[in-house]
Structure 1
Amino acid sequence: MRDPASNPVEKALETLIFASRWILAPFYLGLALSLVVLLIKFMAELVHIAAHAFTSTESEVILGVLALVDMTLTGSLLVIVIFSGYENFVSKIDHSGHRDWPEWMGTIDFSGLKLKLLSSIVAISAIQLLKQFMSLNTVSDRDIFWLVLIHVVFVVSGVLLALSDRIAGHGTSGGKSDH
């Protein structure tokens, strides 16, 4: 057997391929900056709700609050993707100096990231569906049908992904079965 370390071309190619993971870093930085954009929209919606609190109907206030919840879930989803993606694909973050470092950060593998991502999408979809149900007089039956169908597809996809991860051994503690 030959030693791969003895081939300088192979070693250089492997080093280059390994270093290429840093190309993802600007993507995660862009997602972090998109949190600022989402915050701006959140604040605008909050100001709008507050300004019309006394003149709006209960349904309008609930719809506004659901929009805030939706943006909050989207922001949380972005944080999960940023931290987990960066740690899984680019580089580990040194969190030893952060006393308020959340326990889940740095422990989510790619399988867990997919499940959290799909779970967040299901929650966002549910909120969008609830918002449409709250304003049924402005939404056609056909639109509601498609929104429900899309939501059900997300839910079924999430369940199937969780089941496939469990079957593959990713969803059990330490790779052992809980039975």
Structure 2
Amino acid sequence: MKKIEHGFERALFSSRWVLAPFFVGLILSIFILLGSFAKELWHLVTHFGELGEIATILGILALVDMTLLANLLIIIIFSGYESFVSKIDVSNHEDRPGWMGKVGFSTLKVKLISSIVAISGIDLLRTYMQLDKMPEAIETDVVMWKLLIHGTFVISGLLFAVMDYLTTKSGNDH
């Protein structure tokens, strides 16, 4: 019976590799995001003289938004893979990010919600800068919902941070 249990546990442990294709998919999504980034950057560069101040700012905010999302994906890929699949053996590499190997699941949740709040804030700023182009009836609803959703993200982020802090203080950080 112990042999069956041991075999089952080995198979169960090996099943973590089912997650690897998810991380490959996230890596591919960064390339898709890179394509969108290049397209937006090309538009800004080729229409530089034609764009007004608000259109330029909106284009730059779109680039910042995509960069934040790409950074978030890298954090999720690295820390998720290390937390759930296997350690990444690049400890001697000179370009190894300092946070690698130190971002646990709890920290990942806080970083994730922080990035979502930043992305949501940028979207809210973009909406604010385009208010004059929206019909007044739609404007109020759109802004109200975006503010409500952004506020929900902010409150969730604060609650995640408080829970993480309390868990760390109690010494029960697993």
Bin for the TM-score computed over the shorter chain: over 0.9
* Other-structure match for 1:9: 4
Distance 1:52 1:159 in 2: 40
Distance 2:129 2:47 in 1: 18
* Other-structure match for 1:61: 56
Distance 1:175 1:64 in 2: 45
Deviation at 1:175, TM superposition (A): 4.2
Identity, in percent, stands at 51
Structure 1: unaligned runs, 5 residues or longer: 1-5
Task: Describe the superposition over 1:25-76 as per-residue Cα deviations: whole angstroms up to 9, x where unpaired.
Answer: 0100110111111001000000001111111110000000000000000000
Distance 2:111 2:141 in 1: 30
- Residue type at the aligned position of 1:117: L
- Residue type at the aligned position of 1:164: M
Distance 1:116 1:138 in 2: 34
Deviation at 1:105, TM superposition (A): 0.9
* Other-structure match for 2:150: 151
Helix, strand or coil: the match of 2:123?
Answer: helix
Task: Describe the superposition over 1:104-152 as per-residue Cα deviations: whole angstroms up to 9, x where unpaired.
Answer: 0111000000000110000000000000001012341110010011000
User: Which of 25, 29, 43 lines up with 1:30 in the alignment?
Assistant: 25
**Structure with higher RCO (Cα < 8 A, 6+ apart):** 2
TM-score, length-scaled by structure 2: 0.93
- Residue type at the aligned position of 1:35: I
Distance 2:29 2:92 in 1: 26
Distance 2:148 2:91 in 1: 45
Deviation at 1:97, TM superposition (A): 3.7
**How many residues matched?**
168
Distance 1:158 1:72 in 2: 20
Alignment of 1:63-102 (within 5 A): 63-102=58-97
Distance 2:92 2:25 in 1: 25
* Other-structure match for 2:141: 142
Helix, strand or coil: the match of 1:71?
Answer: helix
Structure 2: unaligned runs, 5 residues or longer: none
- Structure 1 residue ranges, 4+ long, deviating more than 4 angstroms after superposition: none
